[in-house]
Amino acid sequence: MDYREAGVDVVAGRAFVDRIRSLVDSTRRPEVLGGLGGFGGCFQLPTGYQEPVLISGADGVGTKLKIAHQLNRHDTVGIDLVAMCVNDVLTSGAEPLFFLDYLATGKLESAQLADVVSGVAEGCRQAGCALLGGETAEMPGFYAPGEYDLAGFCVGIAEKQALLTGDRVQLGDVAIALPSRGVHSNGFSLVRKIVAEAPRSDRDTPGYDWDDCLAQFGGVSLGETLLTPTQIYVKPVLAALRSGLPIHAMAHITGGGLPENLPRCLGPGQSLQLNPGSWPILPVFEWLAAAGSVAPVDMFDTFNMGVGFVVIVPPTAVERAIAIFADQGMAAYAIGEVIAGDGKVCGIPLRS
């Protein structure tokens, strides 16, 4: 017996590393030392910081991967993976420096996984961070044929005095929403249940197909709509910070939606009063709510509802903030203000 007969092909693994080498090189920053293939990635701290603080984050893509497997479309979930990590790190006011991925599969399918890594590299380019390294694990019998799992880890840097921790937020500050591109990477267990089980008026059996083209999605298939990758907010937000915009806090709207994530950027004794109708609800959320008969409270508890990222600024900086993001090609909406309270988000359906 040998390792290959047991299901692990080390020769194919080496060939895969060679195949993705150019993708990794495309994300290189000047601070990267050495190349792909070492036991660890080396990164020199950028110069110019007085008291540099490193901020780290780790995340995955969740069951959105199931849709990628079923559609055999693997070039977008890597963007999701990077986005989930760099957007989190960004909320501290940090610039993402480098990223590492962990890719596990039952059998290494080189073309499939190269598509995955191409998405990771694209996400890193969008975020301006280096793909410093990672791990590809071949684990026979652990995953269903053709399936894989993804996890990622990001490190960013910020000046200690510029860290955003919620202590700058004041009553009367305004929440500026940056729009999401869709469902992003949260709530897909509910999404998949709706797609599989929702009743239909046009046929006797329930459920939808991934290639169904629904009118509200502009001719794009249901599967492609749901695979739309997570928006990466790094470059427009860093541009706003570097312009001197007085951002007091930031929040990445992920699992738990607005009710769970907005309070994480507030100080003690503060709440947020949102103004319903002040931002657009994307068609995909309207379809999910209608198709699955999902109550509004569950929609807001599960999905981002069109708001992917929020920055908190003083009321005097609202117009400037919206103009700066417009210059970066990103819409922005004033959606509410900070009020006295106990950490709740008011103005949207909440669970009692």
Q: What is the pLDDT, as a whole number, of residue 23?
A: 87
What is the spatial distance between Cα 159 and Cα 108, in angstroms, rounded to a whole number?
Answer: 41
- Take residue 63 and report the two structure tokens written for it: 């069951």
Phi, psi of 34 (to 5 degrees): 80, -170
pTM: 0.95
- Take residue 256 and report the two structure tokens written for it: 């738990």
Q: What is the pLDDT, as a whole number, of residue 222?
A: 96
* Phi-psi region at 75: left, alpha or beta (left = phi > 0; alpha = psi -120 to 50): alpha
Q: Could you tell me which CATH number the domain at 174-346 has?
A: 3.90.650.10
Q: What is the pLDDT, as a whole number, of residue 137?
A: 92
Q: What is the pLDDT, as a whole number, of residue 223?
A: 96
What is the spatial distance between Cα 129 and Cα 346, in angstroms, rounded to a whole number?
Answer: 36
Residue 176 near residue 332, CB atoms below 8 Å? yes
Q: What is the pLDDT, as a whole number, of residue 114?
A: 93
Q: What is the pLDDT, as a whole number, of residue 157?
A: 98
What is the spatial distance between Cα 313 and Cα 319, in angstroms, rounded to a whole number?
Answer: 10
Q: What is the pLDDT, as a whole number, of residue 79?
A: 98
**Residues 15-69: pLDDT tens digits?**
888 888 888 889 999 999 988 777 888 999 999 999 999 999 999 999 999 999 9
Q: Calculate helix-pair angle for 188-197, 64-71, nearest 10 degrees.
A: 50
Q: Could you tell me which CATH number the domain at 10-162 has?
A: 3.30.1330.10
Amino acid found at 341: G
Domain boundaries, the chain: 10-162, 174-346
What is the spatial distance between Cα 306 and Cα 177, in angstroms, rounded to a whole number?
Answer: 9
What is the spatial distance between Cα 27 and Cα 37, in angstroms, rounded to a whole number?
Answer: 15
What is the spatial distance between Cα 112 and Cα 315, in angstroms, rounded to a whole number?
Answer: 49
What is the spatial distance between Cα 352 and Cα 341, in angstroms, rounded to a whole number?
Answer: 16
What is the spatial distance between Cα 112 and Cα 98, in angstroms, rounded to a whole number?
Answer: 24
Q: What is the pLDDT, as a whole number, of residue 333?
A: 98
Residue 90 near residue 234, CB atoms below 8 Å? yes
Which residues, other chains included, contact 297 with Cβ-Cβ below 8 Å and sequence gap of 6+? 349, 350, 351
Burial call 243-273: b when 16+ CB within 10 Å, e when fewer:
eebebbbbbbbbbbbbbebbbebbbeebbbe
Burial call 142-178: b when 16+ CB within 10 Å, e when fewer:
ebeeebbbbbbbbbbbbeeeeebebeebeeebbbbbb
Maximum pairwise Cα distance, the chain: 72
**Closest alpha carbon to 54 in 98, 101, 102:** 98
The dihedral through the CA atoms of 201, 203, 206, 211 has a sign that is negative
Residue 151 near residue 30, CB atoms below 8 Å? no
- With a cut of 70, list the residues of the chain below it in pLDDT: none
What is the spatial distance between Cα 51 and Cα 346, in angstroms, rounded to a whole number?
Answer: 37
Q: What is the pLDDT, as a whole number, of residue 352?
A: 75
In the chain, alpha helices (H): 10-25, 64-71, 77-90, 110-127, 188-197, 222-226, 234-242, 257-261, 283-291, 296-302, 318-327
Q: Within a 10 A sphere around the Cβ of 8, how many other Cβ atoms?
A: 16
